[in-house]
Amino acid sequence: MDKKMMMAIVPRDEAEFVINALINAGFTATFTETEGGVLRQTQLTMFIIVNENEVERVLSIIGENCRIDVAITQKESQGSYSMGATPVVAGVGGAIVFIWTIDRIETF
């Protein structure tokens, strides 16, 4: 059975929930603190090795423990909101997961 490497980048404030849920489900993860994106926010990058048939389960666990907050703002016109102001909607937070096949694993 093929092994998969899953790299999940999770907001720092949600990472503990994800790690605990993975451990409770019998998975392990190695993680490191990373920083990036436009706002240079701190995240945890998790590395999870699973069998190919476990990928969807891990994705579900990550999805259940991360959220995307929606920020809505209005454009201002000369210090006050204009009648025709269009709201700006942006997703904040959530996780991104990269998955690739592992050809070989060596332990020293």
CATH number at residue 45: 3.30.70.120
| CA dist., res. 44 & res. 30, Å (int) | 10
Residue 67: per-residue pLDDT: 75
* 107 within domain boundaries: no
* 10 within domain boundaries: yes
Residue 78: per-residue pLDDT: 56
* 69 within domain boundaries: yes
Q: What is the mean pLDDT of residues 49-77?
A: 83
Whether the pLDDT of residue 69 is over 80: the answer is: no
Q: What's the one-letter identity of residue 32? A: T
Confidence label for 25 from pLDDT (cuts 50, 70 and 90):
very high
Whether the pLDDT of residue 77 is over 80: the answer is: no
* 108 within domain boundaries: no
Give the chain's domain count: 1
Does 40 or 7 have the greater pLDDT score? 7
Domain range spanning residue 33?
A: 3-102
Q: At what angle do helices 55-65 and 12-24 cross, to 10 degrees?
A: 140
Residue 62: per-residue pLDDT: 95
